């Protein structure tokens, strides 16, 4: 696959790893946060940590769309879905996210009409096919996904579809990063910037990080070499005592983002005064809601939504994991009470969730792995 395979080359990874190792100042520890869950996924899926020196630690950030949905919103969605006239549509990732009484998947098994879609546009197809039902799209995701929801709303409006609406849970990444930067218990040396969000918002929004907090940011692609190169670029900035926003993913991310996408979002959605993030609490101006002009497509206004706040289960330490304070395995219930089969926190649900990524791909003794790899004939490290 073009633009994929060439960025998975092991030889180049060794070269980059050597460069990174060479940049390590003796005795210094480096902590970088990959903001985006897609990066977390790549890191574990490809075993990228095998290439990093001990001194470099990756901290998994809050950029997993599913992980930050608070339980109350899941319950609200479930409440909507349980209306007999409603067909709820949802991305596959969302299906296993636990609300306080089970997931969409459980509700579907119990008879609630919840259907999985690949694209928000599929919801329109379902709406057209079921004119006597109300199709509600469970909109989740960061700025990457919001434009697709926006385009789908514009399309529905153009068609005059009257039975399609959006339960809007889109969130914006910058306030979350800011919240993390402001949290007292975390020391980071730099950020691996979210590549796909940046195709929409561009690189400028990160400048305050470099400027005000003095932390380097490298917007990174999603292949393992992209991430390794970004780490190298961060190390290089640190060694040169620079703190800038750089774009490793320039083949995909334009510096100014996608204006059409931003316009579409702006036309249909506006910032909420505040929104609850799982583990991070309420963050102001951190999420989107449907604009008044599209009230007829706003499920929150069309149907009454209980909107109760549900406290996370006490055992759940997702907040600490999302902030990068705890490693996934350091959560007390990790792997015993909380597993991908029975996720207690949402970080255990999505393949982008730090806990799930670690559990599914990373759960092994790296020292022993390294030995085995060296010995094993099937490997080729």
Partner 1 sequence: MTAGSGWISDALREHEHADRPEVPGGRTELPVTDREQQVLDRIDRARRRRPRVREERITMSHGAGGKATQTLIEAVFLDAFRNPLLEPLEDAALFSVAGPRVALTTDSYVVSPLFFPGGNIGDLAVNGTVNDLSVSGATPLYLTAGFILEEGFPVADLTRVVSSMQEAAVAAGVSIVTGDTKVVQRGKADGCYINTAGVGVLLGDISLSVACAQPGDAIIVSGPIGDHGITIMLARGELDIEADIISDTAPLNGLVASLLAAVPGVRAMRDATRGGVATILNEIAKAADVGVLASEDDIPVRDEVRGASELLGIDPMYVACEGRLVAVVPGESAEAAVRAMRGHPLGAGAAVIGEVVADQPGIVRLKTAFGGTRIVDLLVGDPLPRIC
Partner 2 sequence: MCLGIPGEVVEIHAETPDLAKVNVSGVRRLINIGLLSDDPPKPGEWVLIHVGFALSKIDEHEAAAAMEFLESIGQAYEDEIAAMRESLIE
328 scored as a contact of ligand SF4 (CB under 6 A): yes
Which long-range contacts link 101-104 to residues 24+ away (Cβ below 8 Å)?
101/75, 102/78, 103/74, 104/74, 104/77, 104/78, 104/138
- Three-state secondary structure of 272-288: CCEEEECCCEEEECCEE
Residue 380 is classified by DSSP as -
Element (H, E) at 220: strand 217-220
Instruction: Find which of partner 2, partner 1, ligand SF4, none residue 46 binds, CB within 5 to 8 Å per kind.
Output: partner 1
| In the complex, least distance from residue 179 CB atom to partner 2, rounded to whole angstroms | 16
Q: For Mg ion, what does the binding mask look like between residues 56 and 95, x meaning CB under 5 A?
A: ------------------------------x---------
| In the complex, least distance from residue 130 CB atom to Mg ion, rounded to whole angstroms | 11
Instruction: Find which of Mg ion, partner 1, ligand SF4, none residue 86 binds, CB within 5 to 8 Å per kind.
Output: Mg ion
Residue 219: how many CA atoms within 13 Å on its side-chain side?
Answer: 26
CA distance linking residue 287 with residue 284, whole number of Å: 8
Q: Count the helix, strand and coil residues of the chain and give each as a percent rounded to the nearest 5.
A: 45, 20, 35
78 scored as a contact of ligand SF4 (CB under 6 A): no
| Edge-first strand listing for the sheet containing 86-91 | 114-117, 86-91, 134-141, 164-170
Q: Which of residues 108-127 bind Mg ion (CB under 5 A)?
A: 113
37 scored as a contact of partner 1 (CB under 8 A): yes
Interface positions with partner 2 (CB under 8 A): 1-4, 6-7, 9, 11-12, 14-16, 18-19, 35-39, 63-65, 91, 118-122, 141-142, 144-145, 147-148, 151, 173, 194-197, 199-200, 222, 225, 229, 248, 250-254, 258-261, 264, 352
Q: Which of residues 299-318 bind ligand SF4 (CB under 6 A)?
A: 316-318
Among 29, 51, 73, 146, binds partner 1 (CB under 8 A): 51
213 scored as a contact of partner 1 (CB under 8 A): no
29 scored as a contact of partner 1 (CB under 8 A): no
Instruction: Find which of ligand SF4, partner 1, Mg ion, none residue 321 binds, CB within 5 to 8 Å per kind.
Output: ligand SF4
Q: Which of residues 66-105 bind partner 1 (CB under 8 A)?
A: 66, 78, 91-93, 95-96, 98, 100-103, 105
* Structural contact between residues 363 and 370, judged by C-beta atoms closer than 8 angstroms: no
CA distance linking residue 163 with residue 131, whole number of Å: 7
CA distance linking residue 75 with residue 340, whole number of Å: 20
- Tell the burial category of 358 from Cβ atoms under 10 Å away from its Cβ (0-12, 13-18, 19+): buried
Point out which residues bind Mg ion (CB under 5 A). 86, 113
């Amino acid at each position: 696959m073009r633009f994929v395979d060439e960025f998975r080359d092991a030889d180049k990874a060794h070269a980059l790893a050597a460069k990174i190792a060479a940049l390590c100042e003796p005795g210094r520890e480096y902590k970088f946060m990959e903001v985006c869950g897609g990066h977390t996924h790549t890191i574990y899926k490809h075993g990228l940590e095998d290439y990093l020196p001990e001194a470099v630690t990756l901290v998994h950030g809050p950029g997993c769309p599913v992980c930050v949905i608070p339980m109350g919103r899941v319950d609200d969605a479930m409440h909507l879905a349980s209306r007999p006239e409603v067909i709820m549509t949802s991305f596959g990732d969302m299906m296993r996210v636990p609300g306080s009484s089970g997931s969409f998947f459980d509700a579907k098994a119990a008879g609630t009409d919840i259907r999985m879609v690949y694209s928000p546009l599929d919801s329109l197809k379902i709406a057209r096919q079921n004119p006597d039902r109300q199709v509600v799209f469970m909109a989740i995701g960061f700025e990457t996904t919001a434009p697709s929801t926006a385009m789908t709303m514009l399309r529905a409006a153009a068609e005059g579809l009257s039975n399609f609406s959006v339960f809007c849970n889109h969130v914006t990444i910058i306030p979350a990063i800011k919240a993390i930067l402001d949290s007292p218990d975390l020391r980071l040396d730099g950020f691996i910037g979210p590549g796909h969000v940046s195709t929409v918002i561009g690189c400028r929004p990160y400048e305050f990080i470099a400027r005000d907090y003095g932390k380097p940011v490298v917007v990174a692609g999603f292949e393992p070499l992209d991430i390794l190169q970004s780490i190298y670029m961060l190390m290089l900035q640190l060694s040169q005592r620079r703190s800038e926003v750089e774009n490793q993913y320039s083949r995909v991310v334009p510096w100014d983002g996608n204006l059409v996408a931003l316009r579409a979002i702006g036309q249909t959605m506006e910032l909420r005064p505040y929104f609850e993030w799982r583990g991070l609490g309420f963050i102001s101006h951190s999420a989107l809601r449907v604009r008044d002009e599209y009230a007829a497509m706003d499920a929150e206004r069309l149907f009454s939504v209980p909107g109760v706040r549900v406290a996370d289960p006490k055992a759940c330490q997702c907040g600490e994991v999302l902030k990068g304070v705890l490693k996934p395995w350091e959560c007390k219930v990790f792997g015993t009470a909380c597993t991908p089969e029975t996720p207690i926190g949402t970080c255990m649900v999505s393949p982008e969730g730090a806990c799930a990524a670690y559990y599914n791909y990373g759960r092994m003794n790296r020292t022993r792995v390294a030995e085995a790899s060296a010995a094993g004939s099937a490997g080729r490290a």
